[in-house]
Structure 1
Amino acid sequence: MNYIVLGRFQPLHNGHALLIEKALDLSVEGDTVTVAIGSASCLMEPRNPWTGEERKEMIEAWSNKVNIVLIDDINDPPNWVEHASKFHGAGTLVTSDEDTAELYRSSNWPVIDVKLENRENFEGWRIRQ
């Protein structure tokens, strides 16, 4: 089984850490946890201050138990899952984001919803401010 945690990770924060830890807790020997970094090639700007490689390095510094892939954004939600799966492979999505969960479910992917209390406190834009 491959458990997939998808996000922009701008930056890696406690909400992301909880999702990755949940995926690691679900995994058994032989399973993988893939962290999929979206918008990997976006130009640096206030909403995207770190490059894909910098975000990958943040995650690698935090955990050596996950596979990390970079996904370029295509700004095409109906085709996003097909596009992203070329990078993260088949598996089960682990997410706290309702829109992402629905996008994957509508493409017949298994999804594990993780409820974060006070989710608004874990939003990347708040941390970047």
Structure 2
Amino acid sequence: MFKPDFDFLVFIGRFQPFHAGHQAVVETALQRAERVIVLVGSSCQPRTLRNPWTFAERETFIRATFPEAGERLILAPLLDDTYNEQGWITRVQQTVHGITCRFPPKVGSAAPRVGLIGHSKDHSSYYLSMFPQWQSVRGRKRAWGIVHPVARTVFPTGCCAWRDAASSANLAGNLPRI
């Protein structure tokens, strides 16, 4: 019988693209939590070289990678709060609270057990320490590689040849000239 350590594990990222490292973190989260909340950043940004996929496309990639997870995998858009770190932290907390309160607490528990999962790869992972109310869980490290077949057709080598990839995906018209 599955005895999770957490009611919810939260995983935050842009997932542009969703790669094997992200997949490893979600796999770990699904092993440790009853439900996994994936907050997809830059959700309302227009297509650019930095953000080639919409929230809906990234949601499709992630769900297709974990078809067996079903309702245990909860994806939600996360709006950017540029130059307002406290605003972003508040938005993350409010989004997670809005999701967790839809599920009744366990018998004998006043509040859900929520953790934050991620892989601390470099300076960009500093946000993992910004939520002290949630227990931190380290995700498994895995080599970078694009997971979803549609993403692989756009980025077949897994490299950052954004201009060529965007052109082949009919995104070039929406991309700024560099």
Shorter-chain TM-score range: 0.7 to 0.9
User: In the alignment, is the contact (CA less than 8 A) between 1:69 and 1:88 conserved in 2?
Assistant: no
Amino acid at match of 1:84: V
1:115 deviates by 5.4
Distance 1:62 1:128 in 2: 22
1:128 deviates by 3.8
The size of the alignment, in residue pairs, is 120
Distance 1:5 1:42 in 2: 19
Amino acid at match of 2:16: Q
2:138 corresponds to which residue?
113
User: Given the superposition, is the C-alpha separation of residues 117 and 24 from structure 1 closer, same or farther in structure 2, using an over 3 Å criterion?
Assistant: closer
Q: Return 5+ residue gaps in structure 1 as ranges.
A: none
Q: Return 5+ residue gaps in structure 2 as ranges.
A: 1-6, 101-113, 146-157, 162-178
Distance 2:77 2:53 in 1: 13
1:8 deviates by 0.4
1:11 deviates by 1.0
Distance 2:52 2:25 in 1: 22
Q: Greater Rg, structure 1 or structure 2?
A: 2
1:88 corresponds to which residue?
96
User: Given the superposition, is the C-alpha separation of residues 117 and 12 from structure 1 closer, same or farther in structure 2, using an over 3 Å criterion?
Assistant: closer
Q: Report sequence identity in percent.
A: 24
1:45 corresponds to which residue?
48
Distance 1:127 1:94 in 2: 26
Amino acid at match of 2:11: V
- What TM-score comes out, normalization by structure 2 length? 0.60
User: In the alignment, is the contact (CA less than 8 A) between 1:101 and 1:113 conserved in 2?
Assistant: no
User: Given the superposition, is the C-alpha separation of residues 81 and 112 from structure 1 closer, same or farther in structure 2, using an over 3 Å criterion?
Assistant: same
1:4 deviates by 1.0
Amino acid at match of 1:12: F
Distance 1:26 1:33 in 2: 9
1:86 deviates by 2.1
1:103 corresponds to which residue?
130
3-state SS, counterpart of residue 18 of structure 2:
coil
Runs (4+) of structure 1 moved beyond 6 Å?
Answer: none
**Structure 2 counterparts to residues 2-13 of structure 1, below 5 A:** 2-13=8-19
State which of 42, 66, 76 in structure 2 corresponds to 1:69.
Answer: 76
Distance 2:135 2:44 in 1: 27
Say which is worse superposed, 62-71 or 7-16, in terms of deviation.
62-71
1:84 deviates by 1.4
Distance 1:71 1:5 in 2: 11
